[in-house]
Amino acid sequence: MRVHICAVGRLRTGPERALIDDYVTRFDRTGRRLGLGPLSLHEVEDRKGGGRSAEAALLERVLPDGAMLVMLDERGEVISSPDFADRLAGWRDAGRADLAFLIGGADGLVPELRARADFTLSFGRMVWPHLLVRVMLAEQLYRAASILAGGPYHRI
């Protein structure tokens, strides 16, 4: 199952980019033998200032056809890392070819796009900067693959 992080805004060179690149590499290495990956990052940027509607249109363009959609939103479901790993395995085992995680910009995602979500995930009740959410998601994807592989990265 191919995994996609589709996000509003572009990551520049810096610590966040280095962390994401590291976790993507780790996920791809661990996930390959589990039928997970590759993990790819699709970044969109509304340079014309069209707001959430323009961002949604740009996100729609990078979504793989037929992908399962997981929105990241503070109003979503808060789950543990082992539960996230189980969901990831379940989506893979259900035959999903593509899984897309959507991360909105500063103003979030339009309701129409949020309504299309197959699942809405939250990293807690706090609002996180979208650049950090990408890092946290990449890390949790790697952690999930490590859990599924029986590796030592995650200790319960």
Helices (DSSP H) in 32-123: which residue ranges? Answer: 51-62, 81-93, 111-115
SS3 of residue 100 by DSSP: strand
3-state secondary structure of 108: strand
User: In angstroms, rounded to a whole number, what is the distance separating the alpha carbons of residues 121 and 38?
Assistant: 21
| HSE value, Cβ hemisphere, 13 Å, CA-based, for 83 | 6
pLDDT over 80 at 99, yes or no: yes
Which CATH number describes the domain made up of 2-149? Answer: 3.40.1280.10
pLDDT bucket at 128, cuts 50 / 70 / 90? confident
Which helix (H) or strand (E) element contains residue 8?
A: strand 2-8
**Residue 26 amino acid letter:** R
What three-state secondary structure class fits 26? helix
Q: CA angle, corner 132, sides to 128 and 138, nearest 5?
A: 120
Average pLDDT over residues 27-32: 97
pLDDT of 156 reads 55
Residue 155 predicted with pLDDT over 80: no
Given pLDDT bands bounded at 50, 70 and 90, which one contains residue 41?
very high
In sequence order, the β-bridge partners of residue 100 are: 4, 69
Give the pLDDT band of residue 106 (cuts 50, 70, 90). confident
Boundaries of every domain in the chain: 2-149
When mean pLDDT is compared across 21-25, 108-112, 135-139, the lowest value belongs to 108-112
* From 31-35, 86-90, 112-116, 119-123, the region with the lowest mean pLDDT: 112-116
